[in-house]
Amino acid sequence: MNEKRMLGEDHYEQVIAEESICTNENLVYEKPETLTDTPMHYCPGCGHGVAHRLIAEAIAELDIQDKTVGVAPVGCSVFMYNYMNIDMTEAAHGRASAVATGIKRVLPDKYVFSYQGDGDLAAIGTGETIHTCNRGENILIVFINNGIYGMTGGQMAPTTLVGMKSTTTPYGRDVAVMGNPLKITELIAQLPGVYYCTRVAVNTPANVRRAKKAIVNGFKYQELKKGLSFVEVVSNCPSNWKMTPLESNKWMEENMFPFYPLGDLKVPGKEK
Amino acid sequence: MAKVKGDIIIDIEKCKGCELCAASCPQESLELSRKLNSKGYHYIVKIEDNCTGCINCALVCPEGIIKVYRKTEKRMDPVATLTNVTGDLTVTVNS
């Protein structure tokens, strides 16, 4: 047992005697009110929880809780509407961006976002995604990329890296048989309807701050009505990568980041 | 220099023991408990009293269960010591 916990009675009394600083005036950070108290069903260390919280924080920061409509995908984050204290709906697999388009066209003054995983957005919903981006709908798409089908048990997704093992590629992804991984963010960044396109991660505090800034920007750009905002979040899947959360973050830094480099792909006013 | 003192409150019933907060803590003051919560996870506890309230742990927590408090204590040290003053003297202190 740790020595620091085995100190005598004196230390215990001294700690108790100190005045606690846990009062409301000293509070610097807590979960935003736009996130409900429901315990999340995600595996320990999953990036979905952080991404949910960042969206909730962005909504709370912009004070648009009653003006936001979200679209949940099919995948691990299918129960997202239980965790967000905003209006949300559920779309068929891959069709979240099409549903978001309809909501935005009927209610043009609302802030609409869709939250999709890589199996949802890049495999089943590729057509919907590309056409929504090409039409330049004024919505925000948050794309969680963990390189695998998480909910169904870790099958190969289009974003699975070359050589990466999954339940359907037990010897690693072979380019000759399964083709190359799909960089969907680079693909849609060149479309003229996309106004803002960036790739962030949620593994370290610095990356979490950048990700929050990107999501806040995505909501802000909806007011301008100039096109679609696309935020890719490179995330981990500790359960299906068969790693601990810390190992999976390290693996993600070593393998995912070289292929999916973080940074802005398209920023308004800074076109190449 | 002002002394910064921080503290955190962890909702241990919702903790899943992923240890991401412990890895991101620059003071290394978080550690997994040996006890289990009602869901069967080892939960995170604060073992050191050196928290600075940097909110790193709360930022990376996937469950959003960490509340961070921070208090900056201004040290009231004497700015000058005057001895053997005989004449008129005006002293101003910029706060």
Task: Say whether B60 and A30 touch across the interface (CB within 8 A).
Answer: no
Contacts 24+ apart (CB under 8 A), B34-40: B34/A1, B37/B12, B37/B13, B38/B13, B39/B13
What is the rounded average pLDDT of the residues A132-145?
94
Tell me which residue range forms the domain holding A132. 34-266
- Tell me if chain A has a CB within 8 Å of the CB of B70: yes
Residue A195 lies in a domain: yes
Q: B55 — contact with chain A (CB < 8 Å)?
A: yes
Which residue do the tokens 């742990």 mark? B57
Q: Does A263 touch chain B (CB under 8 A)?
A: no
> Domain range holding B65?
3-73
Do the domain assignments include residue B83? no
> Most B CBs within 10 Å: which of A5, A14, A16, A28, as the mutation test of the B interface?
A28
Count the domains in chain A.
1
Smallest CA–CA distance, residue A50 to chain B, in Å, is: 5
Q: What is the pLDDT of residues B22-61, one digit of tens each?
A: 999 999 999 999 999 999 999 999 998 889 999 999 999 9
B-contacting residues in A 186-205 (Cβ below 8 Å): 202-205
CB atoms within 10 A of CB B1: 5
The region, left, alpha or beta by phi > 0 then psi within -120 to 50, assigned to residue A203 is alpha
Section A95-99 average pLDDT? 95
pLDDT mean over A152-177: 93
In this complex, is the C-beta atom of A19 within 8 Å of any C-beta atom belonging to chain B?
no
Q: Give the DSSP H/E element, type plus range, for residue A81.
A: helix A80-83
Question: Mean pLDDT across chain B, nearest whole number?
Answer: 86
Instruction: Give the pTM.
Output: 0.87
Q: A17 at the B interface (CB within 8 A)? A: no
- For residue A120, the SS3 value is helix
Looking at residue B60, its amino acid is: V
Nearest CA in chain A to B55: A29
Q: What is the reported pLDDT for B63?
A: 92
Query: Is residue A220 helix, strand or coil?
Result: helix
CA distance A200 to A210: 7
A36-93: pLDDT as tens digits: 999 999 999 999 999 999 999 999 999 999 999 999 999 999 999 999 999 999 999 9
Residue A169: inside a domain: yes
Cβ of B71 within 8 Å of Cβ of A204? The answer is no
Contact A129, A141 (CB under 8 A): yes
Q: Is residue B82 part of a domain?
A: no
Q: Angle CA(A72)–CA(A120)–CA(A220) in degrees, nearest 5? A: 50
Is B17 within the bounds of a domain? yes
Which residue shows structure tokens 């997202």?
Answer: A80
Closest CA–CA distance from residue A76 to any residue of chain B (Å): 14
* Confidence class for position A14, pLDDT limits 50, 70, 90: low
Q: Is B51 on the interface with A (CB under 8 A)?
A: no
CATH code assigned at B60: 3.30.70.20
A3 vs A238, more confident? A238
Cα–Cα distance, A143 to A141 (Å, whole number): 6
- In a domain? residue B20: yes
Top residue of B16, B42, B47, B61 to mutate, by most chain A CBs within 10 Å, is B16
Query: Is the pLDDT score of A134 beyond 50?
Result: yes
Per the listing, tokens 């600083």 go with: A21
The CA-CA-CA angle for residues A73, A75, A78, to 5°, reads: 55
Q: For A164-186, what is the mean pLDDT? A: 93
Q: d(Cα A42, Cα B62) in Å, to the nearest integer?
A: 9
Residue A255 in domain: yes
Burial of A45 (0-12, 13-18, 19+ CB in 10 A): buried
A247, part of any domain: yes
Which chain B residues are within 8 Å of A46, Cβ to Cβ?
62
Domain presence at residue B95: no
Answer whether residue A25 is part of any domain.
Answer: no
Chain A residues whose CB is inside 8 A of the B48 CB are 4
Give how many domains chain B has, as a whole number. 1
Which chain B residue has the Cα nearest residue A239? B18
Per DSSP, the three-state class of A200 is strand
Distance CA A54, CA A60 (A): 10
pLDDT tens per residue across span A191-235: 999 999 999 999 999 999 999 999 999 999 999 899 999 999 999
E runs forming strands in chain A = 27-29, 68-72, 87-90, 111-117, 140-145, 194-201, 228-234, 263-266
Query: What is the token pair recorded at B51?
Result: 């928290």
CA–CA distances in Å: residue A195 to residues A56, A226, A262: 22, 6, 18
Please report residues of A whose CB lies closer than 8 A to that of B32: none
Here the CATH number for the domain that contains residue A190 is 3.40.50.970
| A29/B contact by beta carbon, under 8 A | yes
Report the percent of chain B where pLDDT is more than 90.
Answer: 59
In a domain, B61, yes or no: yes
Residue B67 lies in a domain: yes
